[in-house]
Amino acid sequence: MKDNGKNVLKVSPIKTNVTHGTCSEQTVFDTISKQLQGTSYSAFFMMDHAVCIGKYTNNTFILPPGLSFEPVYLIGLRIFNCEEELYIWRLSNRELGYRHRDEVSMQGEEAEVIDAAHLLWGSVASFNGDNEWVILKDSRGIELIIPAEGYQIGSRVLLKTRNYIKDNPLGQYGYVDCRFMKLIREEDYSWKRA
């Protein structure tokens, strides 16, 4: 795209590995440990009773006080870092689908990507649980609990994503996949695209 002094999207070529599969509520923990290659991740939980961002470290989920991960309540789960993401979602009553996408080895299929940052609603309103967690809150009452990694009261938080694009037989490009990469403090992010 032509740079006319305005923010433009930067399309980058990469190589990525993608694996799809299914698992059950009983085998989801085995699937997670088999698919992920690293040791430290963020985890975005969508459950019947809560939505939050926690951590997955050394095969253990760390969630805000009062919450636990039980596969029976899972709607969706994204375990992610800058190099890979395991996305798990409910397919039926007891069956789960998953997609693992990684760029660790930089081998696999060629892809074109656009990285973006999305401002999460609200700002840091309070700390919870020995200052290990912060609560993002807005004036409408929406709350999201996330790990307190360098945030201060009033901080805004961004979610960095990698968006995969591909052309169709007519030559039109569109998004075919998206993965979460990391949370960023707004003050650490440059809104001008590279």
Q: Which pLDDT score, from 0 to 100, does residue 16 have?
A: 93
Residue 145 lies in a domain: no
User: Cα(14)–Cα(33) distance, rounded to whole angstroms?
Assistant: 25
Instruction: For residue 40, list its beta bridge partners.
Output: 57
Structural domain boundaries, residue 172: 14-119+157-188
The answer to whether position 102 is within a domain reads yes
pLDDT the model gives residue 7: 52
pTM summary value:
0.89
What pLDDT does residue 4 have? 46
Could you tell me if residue 142 is inside a domain?
A: no
Cβ–Cβ under 8 Å, residues 32 and 21: no
Domain count across the chain: 1
Tens-digit pLDDT profile for the chain (194 aa)?
Answer: 444 445 557 888 889 999 999 999 999 999 999 999 888 999 999 999 999 999 999 999 999 988 999 999 999 999 999 999 999 999 988 899 999 999 987 788 889 999 999 999 888 888 876 788 999 998 888 889 999 988 889 999 999 999 999 988 999 989 999 999 999 998 888 765 44
In a domain, 56, yes or no: yes
Identify the CA nearest to 80 among candidates 100, 60, 50.
100
Where b means 16+ CB within 10 Å and e means fewer, 9-38 reads eeeeeeebeeeeeebebeebeebbeebbee
**What pLDDT does residue 180 have?**
97
pLDDT score recorded for residue 2: 42
On whether residue 143 sits in a domain, the answer given is no
pLDDT for 1: 42
Do the domain assignments include residue 1?
A: no
Residue 193 lies in a domain: no
Distance CA 10, CA 1 (A): 8
The token duo for 174 is 């569109």
| Domain-located, residue 28 | yes
On whether the CB atoms of residues 181 and 109 are closer than 8 A, the answer is no
